[in-house]
């Protein structure tokens, strides 16, 4: 059996850049982690400084769902929110586990499971390399049940990136958008069939030894164009920008890389529109928030100021052979400060 492609090489250092074939295993315990003064750190320090999270977005004009599992070792948290654009109904659920109890994320982006459990609330995101699917299952005591299958077969091309973070750290992320999905969402007395409402999925799998204090802005879209093609993008600023970026779009599964993106917004006016422009001129968009999930946490050793908006994108995407116009397609944006 062939050895899995690993991120950390024989010298204890990560390979940086964009991985056309992806990375099968994040062997973080092989990393030569040191202090800023070059002192080698212990295996226990390697384990507890390693952060992981996954986010799944399910998007259609009829329903928007956000699902996350976050493992920070000193604590873990998970959240689920649902928004119905037609009625503007919104509900969110958030959970925290001290010392990341009943939480685990396998260090394999395409062949592993992330799970979170607290009482009667259970979340699981499980990837299988064959036949190339990611299974999402959520069961909440409040009456939310999600059973979704995301198609990650050879018809899609994810973006896998590793970049430096601060003096001694690094961040790895794998992103993909506008993925075909099916399954069901039960929300109270409402039942949604994901295939019937033309829902598409986005997947964010991230980990690493991140800067002690960091922030990022983020934009994400998954939609079906009028001609039937699937369009998605992932845009970010503030993280994963040392040598490369995590900016890309997907058109029917084919990835097109995008240069650095400038985010213009007023974080103290959450209803105001955002502007997003890429240096290469491909992205010329604005985003109109329709709602948000916001959470602040300020503990002794960790802090977070998190605002994730859901809303509509307008503007143009300039490709070499066409210009794609967006006119109210649904997606996400985010403004996030974190102290790990």
Model pLDDT for residues 27-51, shown as the tens digit of each residue: 999 999 999 999 999 999 999 999 9
Tokens of 101: 């109890």
Distance (Å, whole) CA 298 – CA 332: 24
Distance (Å, whole) CA 40 – CA 101: 28
Is the pLDDT score of 156 beyond 50? yes
Is the pLDDT score of 54 beyond 50? yes
Distance (Å, whole) CA 109 – CA 42: 25
Residue 329 inside a domain? The answer is yes
Distance (Å, whole) CA 281 – CA 258: 9
Task: Please report the pLDDT score of residue 83 as a whole number.
Answer: 98
Task: Please report the pLDDT score of residue 74 as a whole number.
Answer: 87
pLDDT, tens digit, 9 for 90 and up, residues 256-299: 999 999 999 999 999 999 999 999 999 999 999 999 999 888 87
Is the pLDDT score of 153 beyond 90? no
* Residue 178, Cβ density class (10 Å: 0-12 exposed, 13-18 middle, ≥19 buried): buried
Residue 9 inside a domain? The answer is no
Task: Please report the pLDDT score of residue 3 as a whole number.
Answer: 58
Q: Which residue did the predictor score with more confidence, 296 or 52?
A: 52
In total, how many domains does the chain have?
1
pLDDT, tens digit, 9 for 90 and up, residues 212-222: 898 999 999 99
Mean pLDDT over each residue of the chain, to the nearest integer = 94
Is the pLDDT score of 1 beyond 60? no
Task: Please report the pLDDT score of residue 291 as a whole number.
Answer: 94
Domain range for 118: 17-339
Residue 159 inside a domain? The answer is yes
Matching residue, tokens 């069961």: 139
Task: Please report the pLDDT score of residue 154 as a whole number.
Answer: 60
Task: Please report the pLDDT score of residue 296 as a whole number.
Answer: 87
For the chain, what percent of residues have pLDDT higher than 90? 86
**Segments of 210-321 assigned E as strands:** 213-224, 230-237, 248-251, 254-257, 261-264, 274-278, 283-298, 303-319
Residue 3 inside a domain? The answer is no
- Range 152-156 average pLDDT: 73
Distance (Å, whole) CA 287 – CA 268: 16
Q: Identify the CA nearest to 237 among candidates 147, 327, 334, 152.
A: 334
Total Cβ atoms within 10 A of residue 188: 11
Residue 5 inside a domain? The answer is no
- Range 118-142 average pLDDT: 94
């Amino acid at each position: 059996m062939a050895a899995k492609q690993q991120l950390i090489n024989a010298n204890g250092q990560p390979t940086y850049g964009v991985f056309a074939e992806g990375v099968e295993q994040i062997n973080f315990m092989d990393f030569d982690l040191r202090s800023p003064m070059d002192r080698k750190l212990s295996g226990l320090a390697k384990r507890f400084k390693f952060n992981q999270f996954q986010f799944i977005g399910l998007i259609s004009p009829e329903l928007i769902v956000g699902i996350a599992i976050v493992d920070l070792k000193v604590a873990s948290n998970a959240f689920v929110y649902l928004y119905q654009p037609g009625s503007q109904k919104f509900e969110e659920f958030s959970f925290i586990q001290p010392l990341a109890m009943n939480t685990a994320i396998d260090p394999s982006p395409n062949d592993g499971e992330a799970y979170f459990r607290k009482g009667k609330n259970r979340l699981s995101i499980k990837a299988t390399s064959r036949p190339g699917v990611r299974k999402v299952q959520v069961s909440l005591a409040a009456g939310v049940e999600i059973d979704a299958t995301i198609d990650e077969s050879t018809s899609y091309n994810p973006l896998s990136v590793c970049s430096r973070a601060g003096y001694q750290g690094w961040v790895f992320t794998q992103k993909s958008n506008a993925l075909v999905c099916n399954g069901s969402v039960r929300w109270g007395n409402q039942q949604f069939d994901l295939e019937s409402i033309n829902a598409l999925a986005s997947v964010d799998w991230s980990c690493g030894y991140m800067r002690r204090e960091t922030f990022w802005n983020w934009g994400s879209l998954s939609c079906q164009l009028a001609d039937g093609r699937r369009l998605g993008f992932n845009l970010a600023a503030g993280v994963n920008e040392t040598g490369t970026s995590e900016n890309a779009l997907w058109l029917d599964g084919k990835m097109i890389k995008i240069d650095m993106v400038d985010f213009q917004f007023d974080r103290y006016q959450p209803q105001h529109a955002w502007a997003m422009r890429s240096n290469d001129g491909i992205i010329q968009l604005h985003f109109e928030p329709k709602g948000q999930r916001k959470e602040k946490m300020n503990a002794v050793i960790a802090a977070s100021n998190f605002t994730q908006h859901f809303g509509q994108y307008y503007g143009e995407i300039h490709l070499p052979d066409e210009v794609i116009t967006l006119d109210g397609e649904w997606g996400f944006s985010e403004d996030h400060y974190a102290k790990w």
